[in-house]
């Protein structure tokens, strides 16, 4: 493209105006010009102040926490559970369990490893919704029917977090490479934990409680504890690892 053509492109397009596509009249350049209208803050305006923004459905507030997001999904989950309650007279306990898992719990488990660093007081809002669902399921159970309790939401988040660590460091999944932590150095002395030192990870430094609860510090520490207590890190498949980790976390 010649300099003269670029000059015509600049002259014919005014930023912020809606214009139809135009073609340059130059015989040697056939360039289609599409100049859409742009937001005002692209042309010298001011960015509007917002208390929070939503990125792919996850809300983060101005102090970089996810507490508003937790309150929002807890409110939406409670509303959905009330809808399940309205039709509960048409369902048995198994039907309510299936409907809860598909419509309510799935909402509370969207991108959980992103916002799992929230304080326990906020995460308990989600646990209260599940507790109400558990009571509704028990009301619909038969008199002699034994119902297994619903899996705790924190347990499900921990299993998901350890599975991500497994896929990152054992299966070397490419799109998770940014989460990879360096392996711990071998211990110089012979101790009970020295044999598993090669399979442990270096825990990233965290200054605040919120950082300690975030994904890398929390699940790196949990991975190291799992390596010290079990041989689950040597599991050959992800499905077998997930089942074994589920049983390990369930232990008191």
Look at residue 68 and tell me if it is in a domain.
yes
d(CA 179, CA 88): 43
Mean pLDDT of 225-247: 93
Instruction: Based on the fold, state whether residues 30 and 93 are members of the same structural domain.
Output: no
- Neighbouring C-alpha atoms within 13 Å toward the C-beta of 52: 14
pLDDT at residue number 17: 44
pLDDT at residue number 211: 87
| Ranges 12-21, 57-66, 193-202: which has the least confidence | 12-21
- Most confident among 14-28, 115-129, 206-220 (mean pLDDT): 115-129
Instruction: Based on the fold, state whether residues 82 and 129 are members of the same structural domain.
Output: yes
Instruction: Based on the fold, state whether residues 36 and 92 are members of the same structural domain.
Output: no
> In the chain, which ranges are continuous DSSP H helix?
3-12, 67-86, 93-99, 106-108, 112-115, 120-139, 153-169, 209-213, 215-229, 238-250
Look at residue 134 and tell me if it is in a domain.
yes
pLDDT at residue number 27: 47
Averaged pLDDT of the chain:
83
Mean pLDDT of 109-129: 94
| Ranges 17-21, 142-146, 162-166, 221-225: which has the least confidence | 17-21
Mean pLDDT of 99-128: 95
| Ranges 27-41, 55-69, 222-236: which has the least confidence | 27-41
Instruction: Based on the fold, state whether residues 105 and 188 are members of the same structural domain.
Output: no
Instruction: Based on the fold, state whether residues 172 and 144 are members of the same structural domain.
Output: no
Confidence of residue 62 (pLDDT cuts 50, 70, 90): confident
Single out the residue of 72, 54, 249, 65 nearest to residue 153, CA to CA: 249
Overall number of domains in the chain: 3
Residue 143 pLDDT greater than 90, yes or no: no
| Ranges 95-109, 122-136, 204-218: which has the least confidence | 204-218
Residue 38 pLDDT greater than 80, yes or no: no
Instruction: Based on the fold, state whether residues 82 and 127 are members of the same structural domain.
Output: yes
Q: Burial of 137 by CB count in 10 Å (0-12 exposed, 13-18 middle, 19+ buried)?
A: buried
Instruction: Based on the fold, state whether residues 97 and 129 are members of the same structural domain.
Output: yes
Residue 143's domain comprises 63-150
């Amino acid at each position: 493209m010649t300099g003269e053509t670029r000059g015509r492109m600049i002259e014919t397009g005014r930023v912020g105006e809606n214009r139809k596509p135009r073609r340059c009249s130059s015989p040697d350049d056939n360039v289609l010009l599409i100049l859409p209208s742009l937001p005002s803050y692209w042309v010298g305006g001011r960015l509007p102040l917002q208390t929070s923004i939503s990125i792919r459905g996850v809300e983060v507030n101005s102090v970089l926490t996810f507490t508003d997001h937790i309150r929002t999904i807890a409110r939406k989950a409670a509303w959905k559970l009330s809808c399940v309650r309205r039709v509960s007279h048409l369902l048995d306990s198994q039907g309510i369990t299936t409907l809860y898992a598909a419509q309510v719990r799935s909402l509370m488990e969207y991108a959980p490893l992103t916002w799992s660093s929230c304080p326990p007081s906020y995460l308990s809002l989600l646990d209260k919704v599940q507790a109400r669902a558990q009571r509704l399921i028990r009301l619909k159970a038969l008199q002699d029917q034994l119902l297994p309790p619903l899996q705790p939401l924190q347990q499900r988040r921990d299993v998901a977090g350890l599975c991500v660590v497994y896929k990152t460091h054992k299966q070397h999944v490419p799109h998770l490479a940014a989460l990879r932590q360096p392996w711990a150095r071998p211990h110089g002395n012979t101790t009970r934990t020295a044999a598993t030192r090669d399979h442990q990870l270096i825990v990233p430094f965290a200054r605040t409680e919120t950082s300690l609860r975030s994904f890398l510090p929390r699940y790196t520490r949990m991975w190291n504890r799992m390596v010290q207590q079990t041989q689950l890190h040597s599991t050959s498949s992800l499905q077998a690892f997930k089942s074994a980790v589920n049983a390990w976390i369930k232990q008191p």
